Amino acid sequence: MMARGYHAVSVKDICSHADVAKGSFYHYFPAKWDILKEVINARDDFYQALFYRAMTADISPLGKIRRIFELACEDQQSALESTGKVAGCSIGNLTLELSFADEPARRIFQQLLANYAKIIAQALKEAMDIGEIPRRPAAPIAQAIFAYLQGVILLAKTENKPKMLEQLADGAITIAKGLTESPA
């Protein structure tokens, strides 16, 4: 349901999807916003787990970065199979929807996105440590790779083709290997 966005989905929609009555919903959640917080937490857990799986795979550090794209592809593929549509990254979707109008939300998303970029930075440092890529500051490169991931997910959503995540994964490896300048 978070594929359609916060504002496009009513409490009634949520309740009918979950097969509970509105009274039950308000028993557990003080307001609509509170289920959003739960959804954000749940999705963050999901994505943290996805990143963890990539990071703990027994492959090279750059392979781990590629694995993120592959796992994201699987995630979008299973959404496609269950809904007929590519839903995109729910955290990314909500970020775009809510960051402009809601400052506390922007800060939450800012933190979440920074955490994902940090995980990527870790893999980059490992890659530098074993000489897979040249040594330089990892943080901006991680940001670039994360930005690229989000953009590719947007394209996959627009094209309704999860496979684009695999097709364009090399872009991330290219950035990892070649992005050399690190403006402050």
Asked whether position 139 contacts DNA by CB under 7 A, the answer is no
Contact of 14 with 35, CB cutoff 8 Å: yes
- Site residues (CB under 8 A) for its own copies, limited to 51-110: 85-88, 92-93, 95-97, 99-101, 106, 109-110
- Site residues (CB under 8 A) for its own copies, limited to 23-42: none
What residues have CB less than 8 Å from 89, skipping those under 6 apart?
47, 72, 150, 153
Smallest distance, DNA to C-beta of residue 110, A: 24
Asked whether position 182 contacts DNA by CB under 7 A, the answer is no
Comparison of 15 and 80: residue with beta carbon closer to its own copies: 80
Asked whether position 3 contacts DNA by CB under 7 A, the answer is no
Asked whether position 22 contacts DNA by CB under 7 A, the answer is yes
Smallest distance, DNA to C-beta of residue 19, A: 8
Q: Report the distance separating Cα 34 and Cα 23, nearest Å.
A: 15
Write out the two tokens for 42: 């749940």
Q: Long-range contacts for 105-109 (Cβ within 8 Å, ≥24 apart)?
A: 108/40
Q: Could you say which of DNA, its own copies, none residue 26 binds, taking C-beta under 5 to 8 angstroms by partner kind?
A: DNA
Q: Report the distance separating Cα 145 and Cα 158, nearest Å.
A: 20
